[in-house]
Chains A and B, each alone.
Chain A
Amino acid sequence: AQKITQTQPGMFVQEKEAVTLDCTYDTSDPSYGLFWYKQPSSGEMIFLIYQGSYDQQNATEGRYSLNFQKARKSANLVISASQLGDSAMYFCAMREGTGGGNKLTFGTGTQLKVEL
């Protein structure tokens, strides 16, 4: 079974609108972390936001927020007031538990295109 599922291969959004990128995860470990990364066409991976499984509140970082629904095992990224520079590939990733290092398991990504 996929540990991280991103069902939207591509998304379009109008500039200044909000967009939600979906991510569901699968783990039986009670302790885990969820991450979102942005990969522009230049190729680098840029860390955006982190949510821990024990965090009571949804994470926010500027225009990025994470809609964490633990019971549904979803960790959707919300980008508010989209900008042209937000056009990129977005990856959801999970780190499970402790004792096994800190490896990240990534989803297949969502290509976001922001239009005028």
Chain B
Amino acid sequence: DSGVTQTPKHLITATGQRVTLRCSPRSGDLSVYWYQQSLDQGLQFLIQYYNGEERAKGNILERFSAQQFPDLHSELNLSSLELGDSALYFCASSDRLEGVTGNEQFFGPGTRLTVL
């Protein structure tokens, strides 16, 4: 158990809908990351938050948005869903913004999103 929790575990929805994925980082971790794992694109970084602020952005679609709340939990919002958004969405956390040494990211169990 990494200490990172994600809800829900599974989500099935229809095209055009909007969903919210939730992540609670490990106790004490200030950085939260979102990744998407799909058959087409592999594992891709989406976005990073550190202590409530957006710090790095990857291949995140405009239909997707995220935020990190004062209690450090984070939510990833996916709207106008398309079939291609079906994927495993991971949240990860680490204890710092960045660093040369260590700073490994610990991953949650993921939310499997299926868009029908």
Contacts and interface: CB of A to CB of B under 8 A. Distances in A.
Interface stretch (A9-17, A68-76, A78-86, A104-112): A104-112
B33 A102 contact: yes
B55 interface: yes
B94 A102 contact: yes
A106 B96 CA distance: 20
Nearest to A55: B101
A27 B60 CA distance: 22
A91 B42 CA distance: 10
B100 A52 contact: yes
A50 interface: yes
Contacts of B48: 101-103
Contacts of A41: none
Nearest to A102: B98
B15 to A, nearest CB: 24
B2 A44 contact: yes
A27 to B, nearest CB: 14
B45 A50 contact: no
A60 B56 CA distance: 30
Nearest to B94: A102
A47 B105 contact: yes
Give the one of A37, A50, A104 with max B CB within 10 A.
Answer: A104
B33 A103 contact: yes
Contacts of B92: 45
Given A33-B101, A101-B55, 9 more contacts: A33-B103, A35-B104, A45-B90, A52-B100, A53-B100, A102-B97, A103-B33, A103-B48, A106-B42
30 contacts: A33-B103, A37-B107, A43-B88, A43-B110, A44-B108, A44-B110, A45-B107, A46-B107, A47-B105, A50-B104, A52-B100, A53-B100, A54-B100, A54-B101, A55-B101, A93-B43, A95-B98, A98-B98, A98-B100, A101-B48, A101-B55, A101-B97, A102-B98, A102-B105, A103-B45, A103-B58, A104-B35, A104-B105, A106-B43, A109-B42
